[in-house]
Structure 1
């Protein structure tokens, strides 16, 4: 296996030869074999072990084993202890998901602070098959059926071409020691149930199951490449604008195709949506209708779909007590300066009569019932009616902020000033308010 592993590194992952590498090690046979293979090839490796404190003294034994292994090979090892159960409860995720989030966050942190080029994990061909079957059983798109990527940003999985049998045989032939995780024998977890009950039957039916699966993965990956190229061309036409807080899609581009649902799925699959029939129905829904995922919202607005991240908390009021200081806002930096003359008002700049202001000023979210006197008009108007007349989307309405003096609106920021604070021939001090 060592020769095959070396050929694989040189032929497919040559960048590992010169990289500073961090190996994620549990102490199990897979990660122990990966460490020994990399060490025998003379790669520049360090070890990282997570103690999730889920198996009492067994977890502590795993940690000590990794430390002893690192010492025996004269390589650096990092260990971290986690309150996995507490994290699971606090974040309302399963124990498995909690462990996954904790370890990957820590690996990223180590890589950033200590300058590791790549993080190596010991996933092999059997892990890949298990992941395929898990995704298949739960329902997925093409991406979920193309297996674990060998290279994904900093994460590299050099053992993917090798089977669990290859790994165990190498460990036994070289008389390696490793730790056995007792929880791996339990079939209450789906992955273990597949590993111990389902996959052995499939291998009995087809002894060449892993090779057949790899051929299927290659075919699916080729198809995925074609779809990716096609979607890149499609999105160039379908995306109207991309801003900091939203992406605007043209509905007409989806409707040009016989199967708009397929295009919607490919365009939005990374944003957590699951109710795809509801997403498709937005194409012909009334303006203002929307569909939610856990993280994003898709809104029908006129002839467009607006995609935005869900922001849980409204802006806390910003109090402005000193007009000589610049103020940070969600839209940029607000500045105040006295000027001799005015230029034409624009959405980012207004000129007002400074003497009419009452400090402190306040920046706040708009509320139902707010009323202002639009600059250049006679009389007052509800802010909600102004938004409707301006045909603002739900997202634009929600993100709109007001600059207020006392209870009076001075400016719907970036949109319209209030006529009550306009500069007249009686104005003594002209204040320019600008958003940069």
Structure 2
């Protein structure tokens, strides 16, 4: 009995993806074999689909021909269709990306915009079993961890791939037997790209060696995904013990929890792989390095601070530029926004509760304007209650501040004198004495 793709597709929807039957769906269509057949399968199965086609303007008249084909197909099937034209080459150049990566970013951004603005529940793409094998082999040849060998996810947030169990061969057989036309992308014949080289030169050999390669591959993926679940459970158990603190800017991990596991490198990889790190030997060495040692990715830094690892996001150039700018305070009547909160000033008659976020100053010792700025190497102050001056770098060391904590420290200054190391300690030169006539309360909230 011949293979009935439509029947198997409908069974797959009913058994695995039943939520699609009551959803509003946006179907990504190029005009090629896979997406055209997905369109016919969905339409015949009674799913509520709308088509979305990207014209990347990469193949001249051929690209325009694809768009016309999709519009005509939508018309013949009485489906709504959205089309969008992109200057893909210009986008790739301005973002310093390959054409392939640029096209991917453009299409998925547009699909998500359509889904959000027009209330589509899911975006359907026509990835199939051969695509899955190609992706697996690409990741394998480039080097990857378990995550890269799990294959293309069938459901990824609002993106669903209902054709993933089916081979390219069965899809093409269905098209031919039902006399369904599609567009051939001439660039697919080129072996310039790794995916095409695998498609034309490698996978046919694998199928020749074993005609059950896709079935066996699917079983392998199931096994790998089961293993990944076990790994995830183990990693989460370690993280539960290791994470000491999380805030908006950083996460702190207890080093001892990584040292006590049987394979620290494996756990460190699973914990930090999504932050762009690649220097895994250096990260393992952080566990025993001296305090202050750092490892950087393009977006994050990992800092050894005594008995902890501290993960934080690297600031963009724009953020750094903004942070470098000091805040000038010309009067003491208004609240002032600073990077770490809001400074308020209040003239009071007596000193009440004082803590790290509140100081009391002899108002007459201040000279306006005041300045809030980051500390700099060479800065010194006279710590309240101590004799003599002290370099801030020495004070921070005595207070056992981490590198990241030091980077966040702000100073309130009067002319060139530090009034308050904000949230830490006031300067003795501005303290309230028996001769003080006006007391100023300064609070960071």
CA 184–339 in structure 1, closer or farther in 2 if over 3 Å, else same: farther
In the superposition, relative to structure 1, how do residues 216 and 410 fare at CA in structure 2: closer, same or farther (>3 Å)? same
Query: Pick from 279, 287, 291: which aligns with 1:283?
Result: 287
Decide which of 381, 399, 402 is 1:393's aligned counterpart. 402
Give yes or no for the alignment of 1:127 onto 2:131. Answer: yes
- 2:125 maps to 1:116: no
Taking the aligned partners of 1:395 and 1:242, their CA distance within structure 2 comes to: 14
Supply the distance in 1 between the matched residues of 2:180 and 2:337 (Cα, whole angstroms): 59
Structure 1 pair 19–326 and aligned structure 2 pair: CA distance change class (3 A): farther
Q: Structure 1's 191 and 382: CA in aligned 2 closer, same or farther, altered over 3 A?
A: same
Q: How does 1:162-311 map onto structure 2 within 5 Å? A: 162-311=166-315
Q: What is the aligned-residue RMSD (CA, Å)?
A: 2.0
Please give the secondary structure, in 1, of the residue aligned with 2:113: helix
Deviations along 1:317-376, one digit per CA (max 9) or x if unpaired, are 333445444433332333333333333322222233344434443332222122222233
| Distance in 2, Cα, partners of 1:96 & 1:20 | 29
Q: Give the SS at the match of 2:287.
A: helix
Q: 2:327 aligns with which of 305, 318, 331?
A: 318
Matched with 1:39 is 43
Give the whole-Å Cα distance in 2 for the aligned partners of 1:111 and 1:51: 18
In the alignment, is residue 17 of structure 1 matched against residue 21 of structure 2? Answer: yes
Q: Counterpart of 1:373?
A: 382
Cα distance, 1:160–1:325 mapped onto 2, change above 3 Å: farther
> Residues 288 and 167 (structure 1 numbering): CA distance in 2 closer, same or farther, change over 3 Å?
same
Please state whether the residue corresponding to 2:440 is helix, strand or coil: strand
Counterpart Cα distance in 2 of 1:38 and 1:170: 14
Structure 2 equivalent of residue 404 of structure 1: 413
Query: How far apart are 1:235 and its partner, in Å?
Result: 0.7
Partner of 2:341: 332
Over residues 154-195 of structure 1, what are the superposed CA-to-partner deviations in whole Å (9 max), with x where a residue is unaligned?
111111111111222222233223222211111111111000
Provide the secondary structure at the position in 2 that maps to 1:134.
helix
Deviation of 1:223 after TM superposition, in Å, equals 0.6
TM-score by length of 1: 0.94
Q: Which runs of 5+ in 2 are unaligned?
A: none
Residue in 1 aligned with 2:366? Answer: 357
Partner in structure 2 of residue 29 of structure 1 = 33
Q: Which moved more, 1:51-60 or 1:240-249?
A: 51-60
SS of 1:284's equivalent in the other structure is coil
User: 1:53 aligned to 2:57?
Assistant: yes
Q: Are 2:74 and 1:70 aligned?
A: yes
Task: Name whichever of 304-313 and 156-165 sits farther off.
Answer: 304-313
Residue 151 of structure 2 corresponds to residue 147 of structure 1: yes
Q: How does the TM-score come out when normalised to structure 2? A: 0.92
Query: How is 1:73-112 mapped onto 2 (pairs within 5 angstroms)?
Result: 73-112=77-116
Taking the aligned partners of 2:249 and 2:59, their CA distance within structure 1 comes to: 43
1:252 Cα offset (Å): 0.8
Equivalent residue of 1:187, what SS? coil
Number of aligned positions between the proteins: 436
Q: Unaligned regions of 5+ residues in structure 1, if any?
A: none
Q: Displacement, 1:19?
A: 1.7
Tell me, what secondary structure is at the counterpart of 1:175?
coil
| Higher mean C-alpha deviation, range 393-402 or range 129-138 | 393-402
Decide which moves more: 37-46 or 424-433. 424-433
Instruction: Provide, for residues 193-237 of structure 1, a one-character-per-residue CA deviation record: whole Å limited to 9, x for no partner.
Output: 000100000010011110000000001111111111111111111
Cα distance in 1 for residues equivalent to 2:215 and 2:327: 62
Separation in 1 of the partners of 2:367 and 2:77? 72
Q: Cα–Cα, structure 1 residues 356 and 90, in superposed 2: closer, same or farther, change >3 Å?
A: farther
Deviations 1:268-298 (A, max 9, x none): 1111111111111111111111111111111
* Mapped partners of 2:203, 2:98: distance in 1: 24
Distance in 2 separating the partners of 1:352 and 1:201: 81
CA–CA distance in 1 between the matches of 2:410 and 2:118? 42
Query: For 1:357 and 1:238, how far apart are their aligned partners in 2?
Result: 46
4+ residue segments displaced more than 4 Å: none
Tell me which moved more, 209-218 or 370-379: 370-379
Secondary structure, aligned partner of 1:38? helix
